């Protein structure tokens, strides 16, 4: 089994370039289906999830070429309106194919999603919104089969019960090509949704209200491919800010959007970090002693659930007791037993964790169960004395571009060993990669 080996206890100092956002790249890649033709996207992170999305597009009939962080895609023809189980089980975000396929082809067959094991993660809101736009769904054989009577979706008034991120994206991608006006209320406001809306607008979509809880869409007949650069990954950035703080270091992140990180920056300031913000840089200087922080995860602009595990790792070093309440996903404390194996003292009561900080962390072998949980174990390993082995790296490869290289460049003693030589080669060093 491949693993990361970390010899902890070294302060990290230097500069970390931040990659494009996974959660913006995925919907934008599949949104290329909405505009038949040749697409060029830049700042696309080289991640397993991105490769999975390109494989899905390839299966649909849309070939792509990857040069570093640039992706060229040809969506002129669609030959297959299906997201099959073997791809969807690797990446839950494949459910994002539903809206674009219904809009483009009038039908979609999408296997029910897998992905991170952090709760039941239903898609009822996706289906409710798409049904309001005129799609009809049937569930059979583990698939959602969708059809649009008459072939074209119709604008509608939709009220979401939960501000779901991918649900909002699915409905938005369908509404931009529907006939007439759609008003979608109670939507999610995450920066990745704003980036998707900007991309769609660049292709000719008529959208108002991105970043608020109501989207107003005037459907258009066609969209035309337009170039787009993916926004920086605020969760990757937040993870490196914690890396600086937890190791007693001094890191400067480049290529970031500080405004997207406001709740994370607030928590880090409460922990005692000194933060210096530039237009696209953030410097974090760790305090002598870390202060405890109480936080609750909420939809944007609240504290992101995708940073909860990393902040918990930091709180294990704090002078005192911190409380972390998880309100987005019901099963997102799976890093707790693993952090405790490294010497932390964390107890969980329902959706509330109590972290008794200040106990020394010591290296151990730990196993990650989801993407951000894996990141929290790497962070804890960087702060722990001795050697930490993080097993099951599949999830980290889904979400962190060049993790090892970026950590090594700022002084971390980390290495990766792999039994499978194909794993060692990822991400590929070649300039061009046909996907």
Q: Which residues bind ligand UD1 (CB under 6 A)?
A: 23, 26, 93, 119, 121-126, 162, 164-167, 188, 192, 305-306, 328-329
Query: Nearest-CA neighbor of 365 among 346, 347, 380, 345?
Result: 380
Whole-number minimum distance, CB 397 to ligand UD1, in Å?
A: 15
Catalytic machinery residues: 116
Whole-number minimum distance, CB 371 to ligand UD1, in Å?
A: 8
Query: Nearest-CA neighbor of 273 among 317, 235, 236?
Result: 317
Closer CB to ligand UD1, 162 or 277, in the complex = 162
Sheet holding 157-159, edge to edge: 157-159, 181-185, 214-218, 206-208
Whole-number minimum distance, CB 351 to ligand UD1, in Å?
A: 11
**SS3 for 74?**
strand
Phi, psi of 205 (to 5 degrees): -75, 150
Closer CB to ligand UD1, 130 or 317, in the complex = 130
Closer CB to ligand UD1, 64 or 166, in the complex = 166
343/308 Cα distance (integer angstroms): 19
322/138 Cα distance (integer angstroms): 46
Q: How far apart are the first and last CA of the chain?
A: 26
Closer CB to ligand UD1, 26 or 241, in the complex = 26
DSSP 182-241: EEEES----HHHHHHHHHHHHTT-EEE-BTBSEEEEE--S------EEPPB-HHHHHHHH
Whole-number minimum distance, CB 334 to ligand UD1, in Å?
A: 14
Nearest-5° Cα angle at 176, 33 to 60: 15
Please give the C-alpha separations between residue 338 and each of 3, 134, 346, in angstroms, as whole numbers.
15, 46, 10
- Helices (H), ranges, 247-315: 262-270, 308-315
Which string of b and e fits 68-100 if b means at least 16 CB within 10 Å? ebebebbbeebeebbbebebbbbbbbbbbbbbb
Whole-number minimum distance, CB 321 to ligand UD1, in Å?
A: 26
Pairing of strands 143-148, 413-417: unpaired
Nearest-5° Cα angle at 103, 97 to 78: 65
């Amino acid at each position: 089994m491949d693993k990361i080996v970390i010899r902890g206890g070294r302060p990290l100092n230097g500069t970390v370039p931040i990659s494009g956002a996974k959660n913006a790249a995925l919907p934008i890649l599949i949104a290329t289906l909405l505009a038949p033709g040749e697409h060029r996207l830049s700042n696309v992170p080289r991640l397993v999830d991105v490769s999975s999305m390109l494989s899905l597009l390839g299966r649909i009939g849309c070939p792509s070429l990857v040069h570093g962080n640039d992706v060229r895609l040809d969506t002129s023809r669609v030959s297959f309106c299906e997201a099959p189980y073997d791809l969807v089980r690797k990446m839950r975000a494949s459910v994002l194919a539903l809206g674009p396929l219904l809009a483009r082809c009038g039908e979609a067959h999408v296997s029910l999603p897998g992905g991170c094991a952090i709760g039941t993660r239903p898609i009822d809101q996706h289906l409710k919104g798409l049904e309001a736009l005129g799609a009809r769904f049937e569930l059979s054989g583990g698939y959602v089969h969708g059809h649009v009577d008459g072939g074209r979706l119709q604008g509608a008034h939709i009220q979401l019960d939960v501000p779901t991120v991918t649900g909002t994206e699915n409905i938005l991608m369908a509404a931009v090509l529907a006939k007439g006006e759609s008003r979608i209320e109670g939507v999610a406001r995450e920066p990745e949704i704003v980036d998707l809306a900007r991309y769609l607008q660049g292709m000719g979509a008529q959208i108002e209200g991105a970043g608020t809880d109501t989207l107003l869409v005037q459907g258009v007949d066609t969209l035309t491919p337009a170039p787009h650069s993916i926004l920086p990954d605020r969760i990757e950035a937040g993870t490196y800010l914690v890396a600086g703080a937890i190791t007693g270091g001094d890191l400067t992140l480049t290529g970031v959007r500080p405004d997207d990180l406001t709740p994370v920056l607030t928590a880090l300031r409460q922990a005692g970090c000194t933060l210096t913000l530039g237009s696209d840089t953030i410097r974090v200087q760790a305090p002598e002693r870390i202060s405890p922080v109480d936080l609750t995860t909420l939809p944007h602009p609240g504290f992101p659930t995708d940073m909860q595990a990393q902040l918990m790792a930091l709180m294990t070093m704090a002078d005192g007791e911190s409380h972390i309440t998880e309100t987005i996903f019901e099963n997102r404390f799976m890093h707790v037993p693993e952090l405790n194996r490294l010497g932390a003292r964390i107890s969980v009561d329902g959706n509330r964790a109590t972290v008794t900080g200040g106990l020394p962390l010591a290296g151990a072998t730990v196993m990650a169960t989801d993407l951000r949980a894996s990141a929290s174990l790497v962070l804890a390993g960087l702060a722990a004395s001795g050697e930490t082995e993080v097993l099951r790296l599949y999830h980290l490869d889904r979400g962190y571009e060049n993790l090892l290289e970026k950590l090594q460049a700022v002084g971390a003693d980390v290495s990766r060993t792999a039994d499978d030589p194909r794993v060692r080669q990822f991400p590929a060093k070649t300039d061009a990669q046909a996907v």
